[in-house]
């Protein structure tokens, strides 16, 4: 048996504590699986007194994670501090510069500085592993990085944020409003006090940027991700989706298109029969389409201390075994600069919900403006409010009526132009709701 692998853990919150417990409880099995013992030799956290359920008396405690990164008694640094800058970035940088391998769960850091850090790792021959940064316990980073080299990948479709999926699931199943479900998610600990990062789609965007790089062999390009959150989704949208055979999910989508690589995060109508539509609550899922394999779907826990720690342990085990894979699947010199497909060129079906004023001309305006942009309609649904239940958002005025259009494939630009004209015609109230449809 080879020498032990000395692990330093920076950040002892929920994931860090779970990690320490697993490394102790499963020490024998880990040694059997990797051929060498894994031992925690150093930790760093702000609060020394908190009980983490493990004996840390034999472990060096560093108040400064940078000192942990430079501790000669540490072979590999696990960074669980979080944040794209500051202590997390400094710690990871110092570790890699010192030739130590790094395991991190930090999607913000990787989305912002992934390629730069990968370059540092390459220079010293260290590993930079980040299975836990995307989709919690699902081994999708490993799958993309190692298991699909026989495929030209076409697309990635991910439910990558448990908070959003929980809220959408609750809204759908119990016909509740967004604000109510968000509050409930906060009470249950599924959403932060400031939930913007999750519900605004930004967390999903960071994760998507990482998956996109792995899938397409391109540099991480988080700035290129088009982002919409879920705050505008109403119970009426969910009801209409249901009637039309869809569910609404916040998806991160990356696709290779003739215009370049499309990266987008937005509420999406997915067919009820699709694998992603079955994913409820805080669960995450990633569907991958490739030239040889067709479609693969991975479903599992997107968060939680133990599930995330499971991925951190997987990364540590690979380092213990000496597995050498480039952080983003290929040498940074071979990561292409992605051609960005602008959102305006996106092609797909659209769900458009408008509140039309109940007077002559509204339907003609909508139909004409769509026709002018050569948008063909699969369905038009107009119902008088009296005929419906729920949907408190459109019952404000008796003189307005919801109109829902489902378009055949068209471009984002055409839809935007048509809606601008419909708004200018003055027959609708407020801003139209636009939800993209994925049928793949």
How would you classify the pairing of strands 283-290 and 294-301?
A: antiparallel
The end-to-end CA distance of the chain, in Å, is 48
The nearest distance, CB 131 to a copy of itself, in angstroms, is: 7
Cα–Cα distance for residue pair 242/230, rounded to 1 Å: 17
The nearest distance, CB 90 to a copy of itself, in angstroms, is: 27
Nearer to a copy of itself, 309 or 422 (CB): 309
Q: Are 419 and 434 in contact (CB under 8 A)?
A: yes
Strands (E), 189-242: 226-227
The nearest distance, CB 296 to a copy of itself, in angstroms, is: 4
The nearest distance, CB 362 to a copy of itself, in angstroms, is: 40
Cα–Cα distance for residue pair 165/278, rounded to 1 Å: 11
Output helix, strand, coil percentages for the chain, rounded to the nearest 5.
Answer: 40, 25, 35
Cα–Cα distance for residue pair 232/216, rounded to 1 Å: 31
Strands (E), 49-111: 60-62, 76-79, 101-104
The nearest distance, CB 66 to a copy of itself, in angstroms, is: 27
The two structure tokens encoding residue 56: 């840390």
Nearer to a copy of itself, 280 or 395 (CB): 280
The nearest distance, CB 151 to a copy of itself, in angstroms, is: 6
Q: Is 421 a catalytic residue?
A: no
The two structure tokens encoding residue 68: 């942990």
Which candidate in 6, 100, 142, 207 is catalytic? 207
Q: What φ, ψ does residue 73 adopt, rounded to 5°?
A: -90, 15
Quick one: which of 145, 164, 248, 156 has its CA closest to 204? 164
Q: Are 287 and 276 in contact (CB under 8 A)?
A: yes
Q: Are 131 and 311 in contact (CB under 8 A)?
A: yes
89 SS3 class? helix
User: What is the contact surface with a copy of itself in residues (CB under 8 A)?
Assistant: 18, 22, 26, 29-30, 32-35, 131, 137-139, 142-143, 146-152, 217, 275, 278, 290-301, 304, 306-307, 309-314, 317-318, 321-326, 329-331, 334
The two structure tokens encoding residue 188: 């249950």
Catalytic residue IDs: 207
């Amino acid at each position: 048996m080879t020498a032990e692998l000395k692990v330093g853990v920076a950040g002892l919150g929920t994931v860090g504590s779970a990690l320490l417990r697993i490394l102790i409880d499963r020490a024998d099995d880990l040694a059997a699986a990797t051929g060498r013992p894994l031992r925690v030799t150093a930790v760093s956290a702000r609060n020394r007194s908190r009980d983490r359920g493990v004996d840390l008396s034999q472990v060096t405690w560093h108040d400064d994670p940078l000192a942990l990164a430079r501790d000669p008694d540490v072979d590999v640094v696990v960074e669980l501090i979080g944040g794209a800058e500051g202590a997390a970035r400094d710690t990871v940088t110092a570790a890699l510069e010192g030739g130590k391998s790094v395991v991190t769960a930090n999607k913000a850091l990787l989305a912002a500085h992934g390629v730069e850090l990968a370059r540092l790792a390459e220079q010293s021959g260290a590993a930079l592993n980040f299975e836990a940064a995307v989709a919690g316990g699902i081994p999708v980073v490993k799958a993309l990085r190692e298991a699909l080299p026989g495929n030209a990948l076409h697309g990635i479709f991910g439910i990558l944020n448990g908070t959003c999926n929980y809220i959408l699931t609750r809204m759908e199943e119990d016909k509740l409003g967004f604000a109510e479900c968000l509050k409930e998610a906060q009470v249950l600990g599924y959403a932060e006090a400031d939930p913007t990062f999750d519900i605004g789609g930004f967390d999903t965007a960071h994760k998507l940027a990482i998956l996109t790089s792995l899938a397409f062999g391109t540099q991480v390009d988080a700035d290129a991700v088009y982002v919409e959150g879920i705050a505008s989704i109403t119970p009426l949208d969910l009801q209409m989706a249901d009637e039309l055979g869809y569910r609404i999910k916040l998806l991160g989508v990356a696709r290779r298109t003739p215009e370049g690589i499309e990266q987008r995060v937005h509420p999406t109508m997915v067919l009820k029969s699709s694998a992603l539509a079955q994913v409820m609550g805080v669960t995450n899922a990633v569907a991958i389409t490739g030239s040889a394999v067709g479609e693969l779907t991975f479903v599992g826990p997107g968060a939680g201390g133990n599930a995330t720690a499971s991925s951190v342990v997987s990364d540590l085990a690979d380092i213990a075994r000496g597995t050498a894979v480039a952080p983003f699947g290929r040498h940074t010199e071979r990561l292409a600069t992605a051609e960005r497909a602008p959102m305006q060129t996106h092609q797909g079906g659209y769900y458009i919900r408008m509140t039309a004023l109940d007077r002559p001309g509204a339907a003609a305006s909508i139909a004409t403006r769509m026709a002018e942009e050569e948008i063909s309609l699969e369905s038009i649904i107009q119902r008088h409010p009296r005929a419906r239940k729920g949907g408190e958002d459109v019952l404000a005025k008796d003189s307005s009526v919801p109109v829902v259009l489902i378009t055949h494939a068209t471009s984002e630009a055409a839809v935007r132009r048509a809606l601008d004209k419909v708004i200018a015609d003055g027959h609708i109230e407020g801003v139209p709701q636009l939800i993209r449809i994925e049928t793949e």
